[in-house]
């Protein structure tokens, strides 16, 4: 069944028939009523249900359907329908829970798309009332201007919603200073499953049903006083079970400053099992104006753990965090391009562990003094010169980003063994931390595995996930390790569930933690608030076994369908050793999909691709906010297709729909912490889709452009008529699907490939003193020849002997060299390979001599460093890739080597500020620093980098009528407004599509950096 057939505005009856046929009658009725009675999205296709069957845990439970309410009151409507039909309800925010809290049968209600407003900000009282679907970063971004923030700073702050955070009683890195969610929630309005909306706030002021609930829980607390006092862990970080102790506080930090009971605290940590949150009132904190960070380097892990208790006493109230990053994590970070430089700023030599110690407040001088005290303490403890002092904000912020990505970094291990979340947040008193971590490490060793340690040393909640292979003996080992870990937790009087909640994974441990009497009391609370047992049943009360493989993502029946891939995925097709983390040789992992499935399975659902503010990933999700259009939604769809859980597999309409808005920007290749490379996957999938369904006319037209360009350019007037006659543009749209609203690139009779600039011969460049080979692509060669000429002129002015790469074969008369990008964009891998092969053969002799091959269009040149390496082109692809560089990369490197003095002497000063937009592929390869450095070769150049994701044009994507609106919205997210704001600036963009989008959206001419430099050469 196609998603769109269910979510499109078809009749409720049709919806019923389709859903009932595909699922069952109840599902059909549910979908029909939701469709009739609400305006929300009713997602009941197999693909949608599959996408909502997982969160960031190991579990998978397929829901009956998904509802995305458009208006908050529709949540109540959906609940009423579920009540009538006796369908359970699973509330959901960002779906980043690690224990399976959001996986469940019934109707998943996703609040994150529309139910995300700030309802009331009261700065005088220091409170804010929000809807549950708002993400923490979004809330804090809007609070920043007022000098306040909501300080429960979970690592998933960009994608975690306040409703989900309250559901899980989440805790941030700075909980030592601010406490957990429960310490920061002041009130909640929530629906009980019988439909009554209650105001949960101060118990003493409560009335009616809320009062009666309070009285009921109070009486249970009194009844179980002795068990409460003897069984309740006395640590800050205890999130298991219901907060029965609101009436008899057991937490080391009281839930309220005045000790009064707040009934909303009963819902905090209840994981959506007691009530559905309509809004939350939160306590705000003053945003500290200053922070300093001391990074303590340890050459022994034990020592680091042992020191935490002493460090935690520093700061007289200004200490806000003590966070651990261990050796494995440091090593993994060093291997990830986005993090390597940052982690180097924090380490001294080869530490076994580092502790990030933060002090925050309003007086920077005082904080610097605290930092000195940390240095002194470490000296006293026999560790002089072990602290990297970070006083400036930027390096601190960068390092926190690495720490926040901790789990994701760990998850980048290839192979079936993965770090598994089930004991990753046990909390023990600080004085036992060193012994506890030591003993647990031995448990891991005993079971032939290891764990990477990181996170909240300040509060004794260290994250650790042993590596287990959940398709093989993982579940048994998980049980055994859990038993032994729990014994340690008990020995050290800790909390088994200290941060990430209970869900499916720790439900069965609630009774272990609190004893049967309190477990029974929890059952009574559930029964009292949700007698219909509609809200996430069988979770905190009557939970399943944690190792029930029928509830797992890679459960007993998980099997990959064999397929022959077009690209080489063997790098993922490996096994790993849980104890050493070593992987076997590429291609040895026994993946029936030749590595593609294992590449797809790298997605652990953490939801970083739902971020809005940093990096490039994921432009389409940023526009639609639909799960299907996040990298996660796409990866899940592919996993379902590859494992036979989606009829039609890779060729199915569901897969096509999921990838339709993927612009191939490679943002995920760099920004996804586990390196899910959806751009490459899209090429592979399109290859399979084309094989079954054929190639659309538009793809034939666009992909063959490099083949016919030399002929078309001979009749420019004829070819350009389409741009001049609107009726022709409309006709072309109806025939090809390419929007009449977009102009097409203009053909020119005179272009680079037939111009007089010939450069030196191949023979000459091989023996030249300053040789360089210029590879000019189709777009800069035919449509924007001024860029190619400019590059030639700049390189010549810098004293290089420039050879222009051209075909060596005689079989393609008149044709230029091409990387095959246009074919790759539509999944035509074999045709792309033909072109790439000719290009590589032409470039190989120069690469073998170590001569740089310089390109201008990022997407073309970088194909040589990316897709060319996985098309079966052999060693020559590696040799050429090693020497293929973008124009600005070449100049930046040469400048560092002192080779550009001649060029610099000629450049005239900049007259205007310069605004720079990076092409997504430039960003994916981390090349923005090069272009910035090269622009700065121009005297007095002031360059501002626009913080933008994809421009939205992305090859042919933005030309297509079906994508026009999304394409424009991508550009409007940041890029175009930034350009409009600076009318006097000169705009630099290296991508031909980016320049087109900028022109269409702002009527401003953006230029390639080569042209910018050439314009600053004397005429």
The residue ranges that bind ligand SF4 (CB under 6 A) are: 603-609, 617-620, 631-632, 634-635, 662-668, 672, 674, 676, 678-679
Residue 665 touches which of ligand SF4, ligand FAD, none (CB < 5 to 8 A by kind)?
ligand SF4
Contact 499, 212 (CB under 8 A): no
Q: Rule CB under 6 A: is residue 163 a binding residue for ligand FAD?
A: yes
For 106, left (φ over 0), alpha (ψ -120 to 50), or beta? left
Nearer to ligand FAD by Cβ, of 94 and 653: the residue is: 94
Q: Which does 116 bind (CB under 5 to 8 A by kind): ligand SF4, ligand FAD, none?
A: none
> With binding defined as CB under 6 A, does residue 481 bind ligand FAD?
no
What is the distance, to the nearest Å, from the Cα of residue 26 to the centroid of all Cα atoms in its chain?
Answer: 35
Rounded-to-5 percentages of helix, strand, coil across the chain: 45, 15, 40
Instruction: Verify binding: residue 106, ligand FAD, rule CB under 6 A.
Output: no
Nearer CB in complex with ligand SF4: 733/857: 857
Binding site partner of 95, from ligand FAD, ligand SF4, none, Cβ cut-off 5-8 A by kind = ligand FAD
Question: What is residue 319's three-state secondary structure?
Answer: strand
Q: Which of 211, 213, 201 is nearest to 256 (CA)?
A: 201
SS3 716: helix
Question: Toward ligand SF4, which CB reaches closer, 314 or 672?
Answer: 672
Asked whether position 424 contacts ligand FAD by CB under 6 A, the answer is no
Question: Which class for 969: exposed (0-12), middle (13-18), buried (19 or more C-beta within 10 A)?
Answer: middle
* SS3 call for 347: coil
Q: Which is nearer to ligand FAD, 22 or 107 (CB)?
A: 107
Question: Binding of ligand FAD at residue 175 (CB under 6 A)?
Answer: no
Contact 91, 135 (CB under 8 A): no
Return the number of the residue (161 or 703) whose C-beta is nearest ligand FAD. 161
Residues found in the chain: 1019
| Residue 272 binding target from ligand FAD, ligand SF4, none, CB below 5 to 8 Å by type | ligand FAD
77 binds ligand FAD (CB under 6 A): no
* Alpha carbons 517 and 313: distance in angstroms, whole number: 37
Question: In the stretch 520-539, what mask flags binding to ligand FAD with x, by CB under 6 A?
Answer: ----------------x---
Partner from ligand FAD, ligand SF4, none contacting 98, C-beta within 5 to 8 A by type: ligand FAD
* Residue 606 interacting with ligand FAD (CB under 6 A): yes
Residue 1002 in contact with ligand FAD, rule: CB under 6 A: no
Among residues 305 and 658, whose Cβ is nearest to ligand SF4? 658
Q: Answer with the entry of ligand SF4, ligand FAD, none that 170 interacts with (C-beta below 5 to 8 A by kind).
A: ligand FAD
Dihedral in degrees, nearest 10, Cα atoms 33, 37, 40, 43:
10
**Residue 946 structure tokens:** 């626009």
Task: State the nearest-atom distance from the C-beta of 877 to ligand SF4, in Å.
Answer: 22
DSSP per-residue string spanning 533-565 = --BS-SSSSS---TT-GGGBTT-TT--PPP---
Find which of ligand SF4, ligand FAD, none residue 160 binds, CB within 5 to 8 Å per kind: ligand FAD
Whole-angstrom Cα distance, residue 939 to residue 442? 60
- Map tokens 């390790």 to a residue: 481
Tally of CA atoms within 13 A in the half-sphere of 499 that contains its CB: 30
User: Is residue 101 involved in binding ligand FAD (CB under 6 A)?
Assistant: yes
Is the bond preceding residue 659 a cis peptide, omega within 30 degrees?
Answer: no
- Is residue 102 part of the contact set for ligand FAD (CB under 6 A)? yes
- In the chain the first and final C-alpha atoms are separated, in Å, by 64
Q: How far is CA 689 from CA 368, 501, 828, 968, in A?
A: 60, 41, 10, 27
Residue whose CB is less far from ligand SF4, 183 or 553: 553
Window contacting ligand FAD (CB under 6 A); options: 165-173, 330-338, 515-523, 909-917: 165-173
Interface positions, 242-301, toward ligand FAD (CB under 6 A) = 271-272, 276-277
Cβ-Cβ contacts under 8 Å for 167 (sequence gap 6 or more): 91, 93, 101, 268, 269, 270, 271, 272, 277, 501
Q: Which does 662 bind (CB under 5 to 8 A by kind): ligand FAD, ligand SF4, none?
A: ligand SF4
Q: How many residues bind ligand FAD (CB under 6 A)?
A: 38
Strand 290-298 with 285-286, pairing = unpaired
Phi/psi-derived region of residue 144, left when phi > 0, alpha when psi is between -120 and 50, beta in every other case:
alpha
* CB-nearer residue toward ligand FAD: 270 or 895: 270
What distance lies between CA 958 and its chain's CA centroid? 23
| Rounded least distance, CB 150 to ligand FAD, Å | 12
Quick one: which segment of 66-74, 156-164, 773-781, 809-817 binds ligand FAD (CB under 6 A)?
156-164
Radius of gyration of the chain (CA): 30
Using CB under 6 A, which of the segments 84-92, 429-437, 626-634, 919-927 binds ligand FAD?
84-92
Rule CB under 6 A: which of 839-878 touch ligand FAD? none
The entry of ligand SF4, ligand FAD, none near residue 132 (CB within 5 to 8 angstroms by kind) is ligand FAD
Is there a contact between 597 and 639 (Cβ–Cβ < 8 Å)? yes
Q: How far apart are CA 886 and CA 902, in angstroms?
A: 20
Tokens of 867: 């897709």
Of ligand SF4, ligand FAD, none, which one sits near residue 907, judging by CB under 5 to 8 A according to partner kind?
none
505 lines the binding site for ligand FAD (CB under 6 A): no
**Per rule CB under 6 A, is residue 460 in the interface with ligand FAD?**
no
Which residues, 44 to 73, sit near ligand FAD by CB under 6 A? Answer: 55-56
Q: Give the number of C-alpha atoms closer than 13 A to the C-alpha of residue 888, restricted to the C-beta side.
A: 30
Taking CB under 6 A as the rule, does residue 130 contact ligand FAD?
A: no
Q: Which of 28, 40, 88, 95 binds ligand FAD (CB under 6 A)?
A: 95
Instruction: Pick the closer one to ligand SF4 by CB: 495 or 600.
Output: 600
Residue 714 DSSP SS3: coil
Q: Residue 154: name its binding partner from ligand SF4, ligand FAD, none (Cβ under 5 to 8 Å by kind).
A: ligand FAD
Provide, rounded to whole angstroms, the least separation between the CB of residue 338 and ligand FAD.
15
Residue 63's binding partner, choosing from ligand SF4, ligand FAD, none, with beta-carbon cut-off 5 to 8 A by kind?
Answer: none
User: Is 739 a binder of ligand FAD (CB under 6 A)?
Assistant: no
Instruction: Answer for the pair 437, 453: CB distance below 8 angstroms, yes or no.
Output: yes
Closest by alpha carbon to 819, among 958, 951, 705, 925? 705
Q: Nearest-CA neighbor of 420 among 377, 467, 460?
A: 467
Give residue for tokens 């029974």.
Answer: 520
Residue 632 within binding range of ligand FAD, rule CB under 6 A: no
Residues in contact with ligand FAD by CB under 6 A are 55-56, 90-98, 101-102, 111, 132, 154-156, 160-161, 163-165, 167-168, 170-172, 271-272, 276-277, 407-408, 499-500, 536, 606
């Amino acid at each position: 069944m196609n998603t769109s057939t269910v979510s499109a505005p078809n009749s409720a009856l049709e919806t019923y028939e389709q859903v009932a046929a595909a699922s069952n009658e109840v599902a059909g009725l549910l979908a029909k009523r939701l469709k009739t009675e609400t305006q929300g999205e009713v997602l009941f296709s197999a693909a949608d249900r599959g996408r909502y069957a997982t969160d960031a845990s190991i579990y998978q439970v397929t829901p009956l359907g998904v509802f995305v309410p458009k208006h908050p009151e529709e949540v109540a409507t959906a609940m009423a329908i579920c009540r009538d039909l006796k369908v359970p309800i699973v509330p959901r925010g960002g779906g980043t829970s690690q224990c399976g809290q959001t996986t469940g049968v019934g109707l998943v209600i996703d609040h994150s798309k529309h139910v995300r407003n700030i309802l009331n900000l009261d700065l005088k009282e220091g409170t804010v009332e929000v809807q549950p679907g708002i993400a923490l970063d979004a809330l804090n971004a809007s609070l920043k201007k007022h000098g306040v923030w909501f300080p429960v700073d979970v690592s998933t702050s960009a994608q975690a919603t306040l409703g989900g955070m309250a559901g899980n009683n989440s805790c941030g890195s700075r909980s030592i200073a601010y406490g957990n969610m429960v310490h920061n929630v002041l009130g909640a309005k929530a629906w009980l499953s019988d439909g009554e909306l209650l105001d949960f706030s101060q118990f003493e002021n409560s009335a009616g049903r809320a009062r009666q609930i309070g009285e009921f829980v109070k009486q249970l607390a009194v009844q179980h006083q002795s068990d409460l006092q003897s069984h309740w862990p006395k640590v800050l970080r205890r999130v298991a079970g219901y907060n029965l102790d609101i009436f008899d506080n057991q937490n080391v930090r009281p839930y309220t400053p005045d000790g009064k009971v707040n009934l909303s605290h009963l819902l905090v940590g209840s994981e959506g099992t007691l009530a559905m949150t309509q809004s939350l009132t939160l306590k705000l904190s003053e945003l500290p104006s200053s922070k300093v960070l001391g990074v303590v380097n340890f050459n022994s892990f034990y020592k680091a753990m042992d020191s935490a208790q002493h460090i935690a006493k520093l700061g007289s109230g200004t200490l806000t965090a003590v966070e651990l990053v261990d050796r494995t994590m440091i090593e993994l970070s060093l291997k990830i391009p986005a993090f390597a430089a940052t982690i180097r700023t924090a380490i001294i030599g080869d530490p076994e562990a580092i502790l990030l110690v933060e002090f925050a407040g309003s007086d920077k001088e005082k904080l610097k003094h605290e930092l000195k005290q940390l240095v002194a303490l470490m000296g006293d403890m026999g560790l002089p010169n072990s602290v990297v002092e970070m006083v400036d904000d930027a390096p601190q912020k960068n390092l926190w980003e690495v720490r926040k990505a901790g789990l994701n970094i760990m998850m980048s291990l290839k192979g079936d063994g993965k770090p598994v979340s089930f004991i990753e947040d046990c909390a023990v008193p600080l004085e036992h931390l060193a012994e506890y971590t030591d003993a647990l490490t031995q448990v891991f060793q005993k079971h032939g595995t290891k764990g990477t340690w990181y996170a909240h040393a300040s509060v004794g909640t260290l994250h650790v996930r042993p590596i287990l292979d959940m398709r093989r003996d993982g579940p048994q080992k998980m049980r055994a390790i859990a038993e032994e870990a729990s014994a340690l937790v008990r020995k050290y009087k800790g909390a088994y569930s200290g941060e990430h909640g209970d869900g499916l994974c720790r439900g069965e441990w609630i009774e272990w933690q609190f004893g049967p009497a309190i477990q029974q009391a929890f059952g009574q609370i559930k029964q009292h608030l949700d007698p219909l047992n509609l809200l996430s049943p069988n979770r905190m009360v009557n939970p399943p076994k944690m190792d029930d493989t029928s509830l797992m993502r890679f459960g007993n029946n998980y099997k990959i369908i064999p397929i022959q891939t077009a690209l080489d995925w063997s790098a993922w097709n490996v096994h790993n050793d849980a104890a050493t983390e070593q992987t076997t040789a590429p291609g040895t992992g026994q993946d029936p999909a030749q590595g593609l499935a294992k590449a797809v399975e790298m997605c652990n659902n953490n939801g970083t691709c739902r971020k809005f503010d940093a990096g490039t990933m994921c432009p389409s999700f940023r526009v639609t906010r639909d799960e299907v259009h996040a990298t996660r939604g796409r990866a899940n769809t592919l996993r379902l297709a590859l494992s036979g859980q989606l009829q039609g597999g890779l060729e199915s309409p569901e897969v096509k729909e999921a990838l339709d808005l993927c612009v191939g920007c490679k943002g995920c290749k760099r920004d996804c912490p586990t390196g899910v490379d959806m751009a490459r996957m899209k090429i592979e999938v399109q290859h399979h889709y084309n094989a079954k369904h054929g190639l659309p006319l538009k793809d034939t037209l666009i992909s063959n452009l490099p083949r016919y360009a030399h002929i078309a350019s001979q009749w420019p007037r004829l070819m350009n008529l389409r741009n001049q006659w609107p009726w022709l543009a409309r006709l072309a749209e109806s025939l090809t699907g390419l929007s009449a609203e977009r102009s097409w690139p203009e053909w020119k009779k005179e272009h680079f490939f037939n111009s007089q600039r010939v450069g030196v011969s191949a023979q000459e460049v091989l023996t030249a003193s300053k040789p360089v080979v210029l590879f000019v692509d189709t777009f800069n060669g035919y449509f924007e020849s001024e860029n190619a000429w400019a590059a030639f002129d700049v390189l010549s002015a810098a004293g290089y002997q420039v050879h222009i790469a051209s075909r060596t074969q005689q079989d393609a008369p008149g044709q230029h060299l091409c990387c095959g990008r246009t074919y790759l964009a539509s999944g035509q891998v074999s045709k792309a390979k033909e072109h790439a092969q000719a290009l590589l053969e032409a470039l190989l002799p120069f690469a073998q001599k170590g001569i740089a091959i310089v390109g201008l269009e990022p997407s073309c040149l970088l194909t040589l460093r990316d897709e060319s390496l996985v098309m079966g082109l052999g060693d020559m692809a590696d040799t050429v890739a090693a020497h293929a560089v973008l124009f600005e990369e070449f100049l930046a490197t040469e400048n560092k080597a002192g080779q550009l003095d001649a060029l610099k002497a000629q450049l005239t000063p900049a007259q205007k500020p310069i605004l720079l937009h990076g092409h997504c592929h430039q960003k994916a390869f981390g090349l923005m620093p090069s272009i910035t450095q090269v622009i700065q070769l121009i005297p007095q150049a002031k360059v501002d980098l626009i913080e933008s994701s994809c421009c939205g044009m992305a090859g042919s994507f933005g030309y297509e009528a079906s994508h026009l609106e999304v394409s424009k919205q991508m550009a409007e997210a940041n890029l175009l407004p930034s350009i409009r704001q600076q009318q006097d600036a000169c705009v630099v963009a290296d991508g031909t599509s980016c320049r087109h989008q900028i022109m269409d959206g702002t009527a401003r001419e953006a230029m390639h950096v080569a042209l910018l430099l050439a314009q600053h050469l004397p005429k």
